[in-house]
Structure 1
Amino acid sequence: MVYILNEMAGQTAIVFCATCASAMKIAVMLRQLGFGAVPLHGQMSQVI
């Protein structure tokens, strides 16, 4: 995945995960590697 994201530098990508926990873990990992990453999942608060 990191190879593909590096090849797509400057573009936007969506990574689909099987669980909310994996979405959080992958977002943290990508941020640690210097990518801008925001986890979006169904257990997020619905704050307006």
Structure 2
Amino acid sequence: MVDDPAVWAPIHRIAGTLDKALPELFAPDYDQRLEAARQRLRPED
């Protein structure tokens, strides 16, 4: 974990921009979409 605020400031700024640009974040099935994306990103054994 990184404790340096200089690292986190741009990450929070990007996250705030994405929140406004991606209305899917507020979709009723967001949890299902998120889990599907996680499954796609996990390496296969």
TM-score, normalising length: structure 2: 0.34
Bigger RCO (CA 8 Å, 6+ sep): 1
- Between structure 1 and structure 2, the one with the greater Rg is 2
Whose helix fraction is larger, Structure 1's or Structure 2's? Answer: 2
